[in-house]
């Protein structure tokens, strides 16, 4: 089996489970840090391991453009290329391509777009996205979807969801034919490198389908029902956190979740603030990702048990306390707010490293607490 999902405990609508993938097992609900360009910005892989990150997200669009998916395939896949032996999920590239509003053209066949790096012309289709994700060798690939913009009227959301369903079928058909060509079998000749591939022979990547439907509850329901008929090993809820009010995000998640199979992982893409990810996990979401903790960190915004803290503030200039007194992360155990503020003011690269480490630790700890709450018993903190 290339994916198993064992629900261990439930609490209300939430559940605690073990998701086992070719590159390791992950306890859910889980937060997945975003590693856009084969790196979680500012954080070396060994520190991600020290934080107990079990699964990372990679961005297909960025890796396709640079260094190129065929180059990564030749180097044994993304795991070996970036020396990360734990699980990786890749997005389909659709979200980034659709964000290039001035640079793209959408047809039934796929999307033509220009590179944001050098303006060169490219084409992504469901088949192309599957080929790229298989070359990268992710544990979980995502179906190529159209992320419906916000606001979108009903006719637009309807047309978009219909195309996403046709693309889901094309994605699945192509993926099933090609998935065994994943570059996992190759072993590194350089044994000092921590990049031996742990996937067992015969294992293959997994493909998740994506629910769309804009902000219309009935369209979300229809999208979910038709997608479930295609029988994916897991399902994502996409097209959220695109500018809509938070209440609407919550409503769309609440509407969709009961229609997705209880014995398969459910992933909400691109959310959110710490209190949101905790809330969605309690509603029954198993997986989430967001650039917020890493991006905000580089701008000096720290998430803490006392709320958000802007480390650039003058008030911290001589503050000897940790970023978050309740946090036990490697940054809070060692460095003061005054030092973090100084690094930021002096534009030292270490500023991004330490701020990101704390924010990721805070997000991961938020999920660990939710899991613990569901377990009804303490879980060993591996930090």
Residue 32 vs 327, nearer CB to Zn ion: 327
CB of 352 to Zn ion, least distance (A): 15
Q: Phi and psi for 245 in degrees, rounded to 5?
A: -60, 150
By CB under 5 A, is residue 141 in contact with Zn ion? no
# residues near Zn ion by CB under 5 A: 5
Gap between the Cα atoms of 37 and 82, Å rounded: 10
> Please, what sign has the CA dihedral across residues 56, 61, 64, 65?
negative
368 is a site residue for Zn ion (CB under 5 A): no
Cis peptide before 29 (omega within 30 of 0): yes
- 266: contact with Zn ion by CB under 5 A: no
Pick from 329, 344, 360, 364 the residue near Zn ion by CB under 5 A: 329
Which residues between 340 and 359 bind Zn ion (CB under 5 A)?
358
| Residue with Cβ nearer Zn ion (245 or 325) | 325
Q: How far is CA 373 from CA 265, 281, 369, in A?
A: 19, 11, 6
Per DSSP, the residues of 262-281 read TTS-EEETT---HHHHHHHH
- C-alpha 14/C-alpha 362 separation (Å) is 20
For residue 332, state whether it binds Zn ion (rule: CB under 5 A). yes
Smallest distance, Zn ion to C-beta of residue 49, A: 17
CB 129 within 8 A of CB 60: yes
91 in active site: yes
CB of 350 to Zn ion, least distance (A): 15
The residue among 141 and 309 lying less far from Zn ion, judged by its C-beta, is: 309
Residue 50 C-beta: closest distance to Zn ion, Å:
13
Question: Rounded to 5 degrees, what angle do the CA atoms 245, 32, 227 make?
Answer: 65
Q: Does 327 bind Zn ion (CB under 5 A)?
A: yes
Q: Which of residues 199-218 bind Zn ion (CB under 5 A)?
A: none
Between 266 and 358, whose beta carbon lies closer to Zn ion?
A: 358
Q: Which one of the listed residues 131, 139, 289, 324 is annotated catalytic?
A: 289
Query: In residues, how long is the chain?
Result: 383
- Whether 118 is catalytic is no
Element housing 112 (H / E): strand 111-114
Least Å from the CB of residue 178 to Zn ion = 42
Residues that bind Zn ion (CB under 5 A): 327, 329, 331-332, 358
Q: Which residues are catalytic?
A: 91, 289
């Amino acid at each position: 089996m290339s994916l198993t999902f064992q629900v261990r405990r439930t609490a209300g609508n939430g559940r605690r489970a073990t998701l086992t993938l070719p590159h390791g097992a992950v306890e859910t609900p889980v937060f997945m840090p975003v590693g856009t360009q084969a790196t979680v910005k500012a954080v070396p892989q060994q520190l991600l391991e020290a934080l107990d990150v079990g699964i990372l997200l990679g961005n297909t669009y960025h890796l396709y453009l640079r260094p190129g998916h065929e180059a990564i395939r030749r180097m044994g896949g993304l795991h070996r290329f970036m020396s990360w032996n734990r699980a990786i999920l890749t997005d389909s590239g659709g979200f980034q391509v659709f964000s290039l509003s001035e640079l793209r053209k959408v047809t039934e066949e796929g999307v033509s777009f220009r590179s944001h790096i050098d303006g060169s012309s490219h084409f992504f289709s469901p088949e192309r996205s599957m080929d790229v994700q298989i070359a990268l060798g992710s544990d979980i690939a995502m179906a190529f979807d159209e992320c419906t913009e916000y606001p979108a009227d009903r006719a637009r959301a309807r047309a978009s969801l219909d195309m996403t369903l046709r693309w889901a079928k094309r994605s699945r058909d192509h993926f099933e034919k090609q998935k065994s060509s994943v570059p996992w079998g190759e072993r590194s000749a350089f044994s000092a490198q921590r990049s031996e591939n742990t996937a067992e022979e015969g294992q293959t990547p997994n493909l998740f389908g994506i629910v769309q439907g804009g902000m219309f509850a009935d369209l979300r329901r229809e999208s979910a029902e038709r997608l479930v008929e295609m029988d994916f090993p897991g399902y994502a809820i996409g097209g959220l956190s695109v500018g809509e009010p938070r209440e609407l995000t919550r409503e769309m998640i609440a509407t969709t979740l009961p229609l997705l199979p209880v014995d398969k992982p459910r992933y909400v893409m691109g959310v959110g603030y710490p209190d949101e990810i905790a809330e969605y996990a309690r509603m029954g979401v198993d997986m989430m990702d967001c650039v917020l903790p890493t991006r905000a960190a580089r701008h000096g915004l720290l998430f803490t048990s006392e709320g958000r803290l802007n480390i650039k503030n003058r008030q911290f200039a001589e503050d000897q306390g940790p970023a978050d007194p309740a946090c036990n992360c490697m940054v809070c155990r060692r460095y003061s707010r005054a030092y973090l503020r100084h690094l930021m003011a002096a534009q030292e690269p270490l500023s991004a490293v330490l701020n990101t480490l704390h924010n990721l630790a805070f997000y991961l700890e938020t999920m660990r607490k939710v899991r613990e709450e569901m377990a009804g018993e303490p879980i060993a903190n591996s930090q």
